[in-house]
Structure 1
């Protein structure tokens, strides 16, 4: 049984994004460059790194960004807002609250994933939403890229 071409492409895209998102590791095992002191607050309160992805139905498309908090670094277009929301949710995507607005009832499912760590705790999260609008209502700026 062979995998569909789109599934193979999606897996390759996620692997490439993970490779790009991996921060350099210091000799002491903490994030940052070797010999560089740890940033104040990193690993203590509200600090985390995520690879965030959103994919279409049956992995017909995928996009992703790297987000690092509290510095709000990475390629996320709304990094500061996403970090603030994640901070309030203590890094748990299930506890994120978006902004309520009207959505159509069109069924065009999207799957969102967040993989990384928050305050040293691993986070692996994925959830499928009926459409992109429902994702935005549930997660606000976190998956708005």
Structure 2
């Protein structure tokens, strides 16, 4: 006789896995960066209260607060001059901000262009 097992899938809020976040954050994002098709790196970012595995959560959250989590509206250093080297940086952000789903993906020509547009958000 064959036995069949069913696995239960339980949705866990993004911030519940982080013990340092005692209250529900305004923003909770999973950020990834892939350089030139290599292995992606990832970080969790929580805002209000700021935290997660991101190396500089307060700086990243300070950039996201004025745009209410809309990464497409970030303009950290619009006048920054970057070289023309091509080393693509693919970034993504998935999560929530004030209860609204966030999905962002963009490929920048190099690290300088990425930082000029997003500041500390993807520097982890």
**TM-score range with shorter-chain normalisation?**
0.7 to 0.9
* Aligned with residue 48 of structure 2, among 61, 70, 73: 70
Tell me the alpha carbon deviations over residues 79-137 of structure 1, each in whole angstroms, 9 at most, x when there is no partner: 11111110111100001121242211001111010000000001111000001110000
The alpha-carbon deviation at position 57 of structure 1 amounts to 2.1
Query: Which residue pairs with 1:137 in the alignment?
Result: 116
Q: What's the C-alpha RMSD, in Å, of the aligned pairs?
A: 2.1
What is the number of residues matched between the two proteins?
108
Q: TM-score with structure 1 length normalisation?
A: 0.68
Between Structure 1 and Structure 2, the one with more helix by share is 1
Structure 1: state its 5+ residue gaps.
1-20, 26-31, 33-37
**Preserved CA contact (<8 Å) 2:29 2:94:** yes
Deviating above 6 A after TM superposition, structure 1's stretches of 4 or more consecutive aligned residues are none
Q: Distance in 1 between matches of 2:55 and 2:70?
A: 20
* Aligned with residue 22 of structure 1, among 1, 4, 14: 14
Q: Which has the higher contact order (CA 8 A, sep 6+)?
A: 2
Q: TM-score with structure 2 length normalisation?
A: 0.78
Q: Distance in 2 between matches of 1:24 and 1:52?
A: 17
